[in-house]
Structure 1
């Protein structure tokens, strides 16, 4: 019995993980578009939360992702609350999947999908097979748990122990809620505790009111995952986690006084729908089971979350304002990191890669800003000391950002991720490295210019004009590359190659003119060396920009 229960639960949890990872891999791009479509409209946000959770089959993963996005500043509190409300509805899909009377087909589904997973090379088919394989494990695990819990109904010790939690009184209801809360908090999966509850009810070990009270507790216990995920995050992220907790706790507290009428209403609905009751037994081969209990539990779970959402959705903004009031901003800076990358995105690699892409675009914008400031320093070095400090500061920041991006992406690709996510990860690593190199050469040009002025020397008028012209051309080139990165434009390579050749020819022209000035004695050896190094640094900036264009075109 114990082995069947433990084994069934383990297979069920592994199956849910496979379903979630497989669906994320198959629907990765669609998930990104859904999350990016979240607006301040609470109804849209709620709908997106429902869809995302229905796809990835885990409200815990959805809420953790939301906490991560809020922590990264990519989602505001009002949007997050709407998505969390929707996640509570989306998670009820799991219960309905378990109600479908195909659990005996779990093993065949597992076997067939495993064959496709092992012997198919196409990514989409492999990951869809992984999701179906997980679904097979879910059904097989449910069947094992049903059989494992069956002997409990003939054990007087267990019946006597569980009678203490009979929801015939308000105290009993609260006890059952606490059991559901604690169990869900421990296993970190409301789906797992739902399947345990369904298995107990299916075998008649517990009655329907007890199962309903346990489900209410599971809705509170599932909030623990988001609360743990919010530790060490920004104030807004902690507010989002608290919104999830307050929403579920408030719904349960409101339902406790109405528990009796609520149970009768669900039973009346089942009787109206099927002409049966939740406690109607089914006898097969001399074994009595209560399959309608599973449907009743799914209905209870769904009604609770739908009605709770309908009740609280109009109050999203007041709830957000209340959380802002009672959870104030920290007095000190919250994030020592320069990027908004969040480890909570590891549960959703496709969304994590979207987050790192935003940070790479931030690096690109910073590099373009450095180019603008560099021109001002070259033209007026004595008047732009503040710009000089800012350029060196930004160069250091880009070094740190590149390191954080590499660490983040490296952690993401350690897991089982689809080919398209792995390919995008490789591209991003390369682009981050190229942008960091661009910032290094910008800083190098600045150092050369400072060295020139520290030795009380100045470029000739012709040399300064040439450097500024070359600078403008390279700056425009970087803007071209940045625009392509922002739009993910794979067609940027041909114009980038043409522009790049033009810059190379321009550099050769100015180098030859400089050599002519050196021959005529217009430039000292030190000035000549600095000028040549500056030309070479501009060429290297162009080269790294061209490398990014090649990455976008899929050639590197």
Structure 2
């Protein structure tokens, strides 16, 4: 192989990979929410998960994309671990479609007769289509054409290669097949695409450079090589992502070992027969690839429950660290719809932590102040992580809807952060509350705390069942009325001498924090619905009502010498989607 052939090889692989990338991107965008709905079908049973994984992977030609989406669904609580593993099994079967495309079309037609026109037509559709569905189909068509142009380069490059490298002699040694399995593994690791490794293997076989058994070993190695992608994606990922990656590795290792044993036992028969006289060698390899993965599913299916039980006990240390995000995973950033769901899930968790912290602060003793301050710091750290994730997500190509969700998520995160901060301040006043001798004032404090507690309960966000903020809005009206009354009573008590000036001033400060705590909880509940996609969103509250409520809350805040939150301009909202959250 001279330098010219090496250049053709590199260029062919590059065109092939570019074609697959364009095909995957175009099909994902053209399908829109259809792929999401297809994956949601996996929630009904493991068998449906298997079918969904196979069908979606065959369609988008990317098992990695489906695996990342599956991780996102698990993190969002839409799939359990057993269902997600079934989807991964299906991905391995669906990935065999690349081999069938190469075997049935790639080597049986004149590439220039149909691939080049496909590229031209596809680019015309892309240029005139804007963001319409047929424009994305044009991207797919262009990728399809480049796929086969790259394949043509590979086939031509490998012609006559058997005269330079004695593949058949190597395969007949005792370690020959294992060596080719290793070669297939390394090839897949280097180019990070089992589809491209499969195409190279089929091109070698089509050109007559390698015998059938050797090609089968390369196919097994390519299958094993996909575990590297899963392992790399699990580094620094969530516990769920690590469990799914481990399941992927287990599946490929066990089925790879079974396939290699089968191939070794049949290699002498395969190499000694004249199968190529009766069958197309490339078709046989595509069939072997499919049967090999189906056999792997049959082997692993009864072992799935024990494997799930084993994996669920692993990677718990990260989840036990409250200050570490549980649902944010960088692997799903390229799928913004799933990334926003994961962010909402994390914010739901943070919100429940903040609400719990606030309720503890309202009922706690001074001795609990250290614990509450430490928990408030954890909430702060989590919100910083949400801000960083939002910044990374903002750098992705986003739809208009998701671009609007990001500033709203930061707004809700700010409310949670303020709830945690106020909780750490309120607990400092616990002893002073108990030292107030005026019985009427004590009663007022109790009633204000009671209304605020009810507000916190109404605003507590459970991502699976929370639907409306109507209750919290009604309680806000009660809170405002109660707060204004208690301020008047405290001032009267100071004038009448029932409270000293110091007691009255401290009490007004503490009551201001309690009042603002309820306000922030109501706002977080009111804006929560804007964090979900429109098709899953409950009816939004009338914007005029929103503005009036904010105006009243801001006036009350200013009367307590607390600066009200400023409404962001449209430019600031866009900037918020690109910048991490500033935390007090």
Q: Which residue of 2 aligns with 1:552?
A: 529
Q: Which residue of 1 aligns with 2:546?
A: none
Mean Cα deviation higher: 79-88 or 160-169: 160-169
Q: CA deviation at 1:201?
A: 3.5
Q: Which residue of 2 aligns with 1:448?
A: 429
Match runs of 1:210-229 below 5 Å: 210-229=214-233
Q: Which residue of 2 aligns with 1:311?
A: 299
Higher relative contact order (CA 8 A, sep 6+): 1
The 3 A distance-change label for structure 1 pair 469 and 35 is: farther
Distance in 2 (alpha carbons) for counterparts of 1:256 and 1:313: 20
Mean Cα deviation higher: 218-227 or 310-319: 310-319
Match runs of 1:339-418 below 5 Å: 339-340=325-326, 341-377=328-364, 381=365, 385-386=367-368, 388-418=369-399
Distance in 2 (alpha carbons) for counterparts of 1:472 and 1:31: 47
Q: Over aligned residue pairs, what C-alpha RMSD do you find?
A: 4.1
Contact 1:220 1:248 in 2 (8 A): yes
Deviations 1:450-489 (A, max 9, x none): 5x36xx9426322232233223323333333334865464
Q: Which residue of 1 aligns with 2:234?
A: 230
Contact 1:239 1:323 in 2 (8 A): yes
Distance in 1 (alpha carbons) for counterparts of 2:377 and 2:246: 36
The 3 A distance-change label for structure 1 pair 539 and 323 is: closer
Contact 1:89 1:302 in 2 (8 A): yes
Pick aligned residue for 2:495 from 519, 523, 530: 519
Contact 2:63 2:91 in 1 (8 A): yes
Contact 1:109 1:133 in 2 (8 A): no
The 3 A distance-change label for structure 1 pair 222 and 545 is: same
Q: Which residue of 2 aligns with 1:528?
A: 504
Contact 2:72 2:342 in 1 (8 A): no
Contact 1:176 1:213 in 2 (8 A): yes
1:101 alignment partner, SS class: helix
Distance in 2 (alpha carbons) for counterparts of 1:140 and 1:394: 55
Q: CA deviation at 1:101?
A: 3.4
2:412 alignment partner, SS class: helix
Distance in 2 (alpha carbons) for counterparts of 1:161 and 1:444: 76
Distance in 1 (alpha carbons) for counterparts of 2:317 and 2:358: 34
Pick aligned residue for 2:151 from 145, 150, 169: 145
Contact 2:103 2:202 in 1 (8 A): no
Contact 1:106 1:137 in 2 (8 A): no
The 3 A distance-change label for structure 1 pair 68 and 213 is: same
Contact 1:185 1:225 in 2 (8 A): yes
The 3 A distance-change label for structure 1 pair 162 and 434 is: farther
1:15 alignment partner, SS class: helix
Q: Aligned residue pairs: how many?
A: 518
Distance in 2 (alpha carbons) for counterparts of 1:257 and 1:436: 58
The 3 A distance-change label for structure 1 pair 320 and 366 is: closer
Q: Which residue of 1 aligns with 2:205?
A: 201
Q: CA deviation at 1:219?
A: 0.7
Give ranges in structure 2 of 5+ residues lacking alignment.
531-539, 544-566, 568-584
1:509 is aligned to 2:485: yes
Deviations 1:105-133 (A, max 9, x none): 445544555455555565xx36x744651
Deviations 1:423-470 (A, max 9, x none): 3333322222221112212222223345x36xx942632223223322
Match runs of 1:206-355 below 5 Å: 206-231=210-235, 240-259=244-263, 277-279=279-281, 293=282, 295-319=283-307, 337-340=323-326, 341-355=328-342
Contact 2:357 2:372 in 1 (8 A): yes
The 3 A distance-change label for structure 1 pair 237 and 414 is: closer
Distance in 1 (alpha carbons) for counterparts of 2:268 and 2:95: 21
Deviations 1:116-171 (A, max 9, x none): 5555565xx36x7446514522431332331353154245xx53315356645664
Q: Which residue of 1 aligns with 2:439?
A: 461
Q: CA deviation at 1:193?
A: 0.9
Distance in 1 (alpha carbons) for counterparts of 2:63 and 2:120: 28
Q: CA deviation at 1:305?
A: 0.5
Q: Which residue of 2 aligns with 1:57?
A: 61
2:142 alignment partner, SS class: helix
Mean Cα deviation higher: 513-522 or 37-46: 37-46
Q: Which residue of 2 aligns with 1:288?
A: none
Q: Which residue of 2 aligns with 1:282?
A: none
Q: CA deviation at 1:234?
A: 7.6
The 3 A distance-change label for structure 1 pair 263 and 134 is: farther
Deviations 1:177-201 (A, max 9, x none): 2221110111111011112223333
Mean Cα deviation higher: 91-100 or 213-222: 91-100
Mean Cα deviation higher: 462-471 or 105-114: 105-114
Q: Which residue of 1 aligns with 2:452?
A: 474
Q: Which residue of 2 aligns with 1:430?
A: 411
Distance in 2 (alpha carbons) for counterparts of 1:184 and 1:108: 30
Contact 2:197 2:222 in 1 (8 A): yes
Contact 1:146 1:203 in 2 (8 A): no
The 3 A distance-change label for structure 1 pair 403 and 32 is: farther
Pick aligned residue for 1:163 from 167, 178, 187: 167
Q: CA deviation at 1:353?
A: 2.5
The 3 A distance-change label for structure 1 pair 413 and 249 is: same
Contact 2:333 2:393 in 1 (8 A): yes
Give ranges in structure 1 of 5+ residues lacking alignment.
280-292
Q: CA deviation at 1:405?
A: 1.0
The 3 A distance-change label for structure 1 pair 442 and 330 is: closer
The 3 A distance-change label for structure 1 pair 515 and 257 is: closer
Q: Which residue of 1 aligns with 2:95?
A: 91
Distance in 1 (alpha carbons) for counterparts of 2:39 and 2:504: 55
| TM-score after normalising by structure 1 | 0.78
Distance in 2 (alpha carbons) for counterparts of 1:34 and 1:526: 65
